[in-house]
Structure 1
Amino acid sequence: MIPAPLLAMGAFFLDTVLGDPQTRWHPVAVLGRFISLLERLLYPTGGSNQRKFVMGSLLVLFILCIAYAFAEGLLLAVRQLPVAWGSDAVSVLLLYFCISPRMLAKAGQDIYMLLVKGDLPAAREHVGYIVGRDTAQLDEADAARAAIETVAENTVDGVIAPFFFFALGGAPLAVLYRAANTMDSMLGYRNERYLYFGRMAARVDDVLNYIPARISGVLFVMAAFLLGYDGRNALNILVRDAAGHPSPNGGHAEAPVAGALHIRLGGINYYFGERHFRAYMGDAHMDISAKHILGAIRLMYTVAVLFLLFYYLFSLYRYN
C-alpha cells in the first residue's frame, strides 16, 4: 500500500500535467447538477424563513452523507478486486478531482496575458468567469486585484483544504469537503433566496475551512521567504489584517499575499450595481498591475508544495 502523502503528490502531479477536465461528467459538475435538483425539490417557495433554513440544512446533510458514502463505497468495492493497487489508484483520482491548482493558475494567467496585451474588455470578461462582482467598469488595477484575490483565497478551498482532509480521513473526507465547498459556492449567498436556505451550507464551509485557512496563512509567509518576496511583511500583514476580512477565513490567504507583494487588496466592489466596501488587506506600497497576478500564482504553487512536503515529513516522523 502506497503511503498517503505519496498519493496526494500523485494527485497534485496529475493536476499539474492534465489540469481539471472540462466536461459535464466531471464529478464536481455532476454533483452541482444533483445539488440543483435537490434545491428545486426542497426549496419551500413561500415558506417561512425557519422552514427555508430547515430544508436547506436537510439538503446539506443529505449531500454530505451521499458524497462520503459514495467515495467510501467505491473504495470498498475496489478493495474486493484482485488488484493490489486498485484502492490507491482510486484515491489518487478522487483527490485529483477535488483539487484545482492548475485551473486556478490558468484563470489568473489568462487575465494576466490579456492585461499585458492591453485588451481590457476581454480581461473584464475573464474576471467575470471567476468572481461575482460587476466587471464592466473595472480598470487594469481592479481586474488584476480580482484575479489576485481569487488565486489567494481559492488556494485554501481549491488546494490546501482538500489535501488537509485527505490527510485526516483519506479520499472520502476530501470528497465530503469538496461537496461542502460546492454547496457553499451554489447556495451560500446573502440574498433573498439563499439568506436562510443557504445559511447552513455557508456555515459548514466556514467551519471546514477554519484550520486549512490558517495553515495556508503560515505557508504563504514561508513561501514568500522562499521565493524572495517580503516574508516579514507577509507575516505582519497576516497578523494585522486577516481578521478584518468579511469571511472568517479569506483574510488568512489574502493578507499574506498582499504583504508579500507590497500591494493592497480589498476596497470597493460593485455587485448588481450596488457599491460595497471590503476591508483593505495590506498597504499600497506599489500600484497593483498584471505582474502581481504571476506573483500570486507562484505563491499558490509554492504553498501547495510546502504542504505536501510537510505532510510527507510528518508521516515519516509518525511511523518511525
Structure 2
Amino acid sequence: MNTLIIVSASIIVDLFVGDPKAIPHPVVGFGKAIAWFERLFRKESVSPPLQKMLGVSLVIFLLLLALGLTFVTLWLASHVHPLAESVVSVWLISTTIAAKGLKEAAMQVYGALASGDLEEARLRVGYIVGRDTDSLSEQEVSRAAVETVAENIVDAVVSPIFYALVGGVYGAILYRAVNTLDSMVGYKNEKYRYFGWASARLDDVLNFVPARICGFLLWLVALASRTLSANGAWKAMRRDASKHPSPNSGIPEAAIAGALGIQLGGENRYGGIVSVRARMGEAHRNIVIEDIPRTTRILYKTVVFVLGIFLLLLNLMWWRSL
C-alpha cells in the first residue's frame, strides 16, 4: 500500500510540476557519467568483441553508480526525518516519469507549426527525435512528433511506473539509467554497433512487458473515447507492431496510428542516410498538425487512467483495513 501511495504521488508530481530546470535531474547526471566513461574507455581502434565488453562494463558501471547514489540519498533523507525519505522517494520516482515534459516538447512543435514557422518547428522536433529534420515538410514534422510521443508513452510513462511498482525507487531509477544508456549509445550505426549493444538489448528486455501493457492501456483509452477508434488501434497493433525494428516501439506507434486513423512510419533520414521504417496503421486521412495535440491528449488520458486505477485500489485497501 505504501508503494502504491508513493507511486501515485509521483505521477501527480510529474503531471503538475514536471522537471524544473533549477533542480538537478538524475538523467542529466546519468548522461554526464555515460559521456565520461565513453571518452575514457571507448576507442575506435579496438576490436568488436572488446567494444562489446566495454559496453557491458558501461552498463554495470552506470547501474552501480545509480544504485549507490540512490541508496545514499535515501539514507541521508531518512536521517533527517522519517517523512523526508518518503518525500525524496516521491520526487526521485517523479523524475523518471516524463509525461509533462513530453507533452510540452511536442506542443512546442505544434505551436511553431500553428504559427506558420516551419523552420522553428523543424528545430523543435529535432530536440526530441533522432532523424534529420532540416528539410522536413509540415506533414513530416507532424509525423515525427506523433511518432516520438507514441513511442515514449512506454519509455516515459508506463515503464518507469511499472518498475517503480516492482522495485520502488530503485526499480524506477535503474530503469531510467538503462533507458538513458539506450538513448545515448544504443544505436545500430558503425560508432555504437558493438559498444552500445548491451545497452540496447537490456533496454529492449526491460521494456518488453511494459510495452504490451501500454498497448492494452491505449486500446482502453481509445475504447472510452468517442473520437478514437479502438478497433483500429487493436487491428493495427496485431497487424503492424511486429514490423517495427524495435520489439517494443511498434506497439504504441501502431496503437496511436490505428486509433487516429492515420499511417505512421515511412522514409526517414539519419545523418543523410535514408531509412525506410515499416508503416503502422492505415491512411484513412493525411496526418495534420492537429494530430500532435490529439496524441498528447492520448498520452495524458493514459496517465490519468493509470492513476485512477491506483487511487481506486488504494480506496479499496483503505476500506478493507477498517
TM-score (norm 2): 0.94
**Counterpart-to-counterpart distance in 1, 2:50 and 2:74:** 36
Structure 2 counterpart of 1:277: 276
* 1:1-320 aligned within 5 A: 3-22=2-21, 25-81=24-80, 83-228=81-226, 229-313=228-312
**Counterpart-to-counterpart distance in 2, 1:75 and 1:162:** 18
C-alpha change, 1:107 and 1:45, in structure 2 (3 Å) is: same
C-alpha change, 1:316 and 1:167, in structure 2 (3 Å) is: farther
Equivalent residue letter for 1:63: L
Equivalent residue letter for 1:205: D
Q: Which moved more, 1:198-207 or 1:307-316?
A: 307-316
C-alpha change, 1:77 and 1:314, in structure 2 (3 Å) is: same
- Report if the CA contact (8 A) 2:236-2:254 is conserved: yes
**Counterpart-to-counterpart distance in 2, 1:273 and 1:39:** 25
Q: Which moved more, 1:34-43 or 1:157-166?
A: 34-43
TM-score (norm 1): 0.94
Q: Deviations over 1:30-80 (max 9, x none)?
A: 221111111112213411100000011011011112212322332233334
Q: Is there any run of 5+ residues in structure 2 with no aligned partner, and where?
A: none
Equivalent residue letter for 1:7: I
Question: Which SS does the other structure have where 1:194 is aligned?
Answer: coil
**Counterpart-to-counterpart distance in 2, 1:243 and 1:181:** 21
Q: Which moved more, 1:151-160 or 1:219-228?
A: 219-228
Q: Which moved more, 1:223-232 or 1:209-218?
A: 223-232
Equivalent residue letter for 1:208: L
- Report if the CA contact (8 A) 1:24-1:30 is conserved: no
Equivalent residue letter for 1:37: W
- Report if the CA contact (8 A) 2:8-2:310 is conserved: no
**Counterpart-to-counterpart distance in 2, 1:245 and 1:214:** 14
Q: Deviations over 1:78-110 (max 9, x none)?
A: 3344x2312210110101111111110011111
**Counterpart-to-counterpart distance in 2, 1:18 and 1:310:** 21
**Counterpart-to-counterpart distance in 2, 1:162 and 1:265:** 25
- Report if the CA contact (8 A) 1:153-1:250 is conserved: yes
- Report if the CA contact (8 A) 1:188-1:201 is conserved: yes
- Report if the CA contact (8 A) 2:55-2:196 is conserved: yes
C-alpha change, 1:242 and 1:120, in structure 2 (3 Å) is: same
Instruction: Provide the identity percentage.
Output: 41
Q: Deviations over 1:212-260 (max 9, x none)?
A: 1111111011111223211121111111111111111001111110011
**Counterpart-to-counterpart distance in 2, 1:23 and 1:134:** 30
**Counterpart-to-counterpart distance in 1, 2:197 and 2:63:** 15
